[in-house]
Structure formats: C-alpha cells, structure tokens
Structure 1
C-alpha cells in the first residue's frame, strides 16, 4: 500500500514531502550533520538518540554499556558495529556490567 506524501514546512521555512507524522525536517537534519567525529558516521536517527542522552564524544559513549546504547530508538546493528569500531580505534570500549 502506497502512502500519500504531504507537503510540510518546518520552522525555518524549508518545504519537504513526507508520508509520516514525523516532524523532523530532512533539510535541517542535513544542515546540522557533523562533518567530523564519530557522530558524522551514523544515521540521523542514531545521532539524535545519542545526542538526547548527552553523548557528544567517545569518552561519554564509553560510559554506557552496549545494551544501554542498543536499546535507544534509532540504534541498530549497523550503528552498533560502527560505534564499536570507532571505540576500538581510540582504545576505548563500552562499559561492562
């Protein structure tokens, strides 16, 4: 079943089409995507989930367990693989219980 796309306008005036009720503007998200650091490597939903937890650097990420991070909305197996790899490259790891 095909969902109908609706024209939406964000608070900044960007117009975009979306079929869901999600209020996230894809243009605003693209503008605020980091160009460096580990947050630049993950999808927008994963980045928002990490930012909502106050995680903006690898040291903060390493203070959480894999289970805690993987339970966040927007964090799937692909993102977990990326995060584990970046932590390992920087001689860090997820907290163990």
Structure 2
C-alpha cells in the first residue's frame, strides 16, 4: 500500500518533469528541501511550489 507521501501531487507536467530530472520522485523527498532550491528548477513556478508546500503541511512537513 502506498502512502500519499510516496507520490507527487498534481502540479503540472513541466514542474513534475523538473522534479524528476532533479531526482525527486516522491513528496517525502521534498520535506526540508529549501524552497529557493526548487524555485531554480526549470519549469517550477510559484503555483507548483505553493501546492507542494500545502500538501506537505497536510502531513506536518514543509519546505525550508
């Protein structure tokens, strides 16, 4: 059985591709990653970052 932390939320294809290219394939891997680091990824915009932060917060986690 998979946990919601084992998958990435729906954030759009460019942002998902950017995360995969950087080696992030699960939501769990993003906990504690600096927001500024993710913002540098080509295809990662403010909307996707906001969605990631919101979903992480649902699990008492977050971006740095």
| Both structures adopt the same fold (TM-score exceeding 0.5) | yes
| Higher RCO (Cα < 8 Å, 6 or more apart) | 2
Rg larger in 1 or in 2?
A: 1
Aligned twin of 1:51? 20
Choose between structure 1 and 2: higher helix proportion. Answer: 2
Structure 2 gaps of 5+ residues are 1-6
Aligned partner of residue 38 in structure 1, secondary structure? coil
Correspondences of 1:10-89 after superposition (within 5 Å): 37-39=7-9, 41-89=10-58
Inter-partner Cα distance in structure 1 for 2:26 and 2:32: 11
- TM normalised by structure 1 equals 0.55
**Structure 1 residue ranges, 4+ long, deviating more than 2 angstroms after superposition:** none
How many residues of Structure 1 are paired with residues of Structure 2 in the alignment? Answer: 58
Q: CA RMSD in A?
A: 1.3
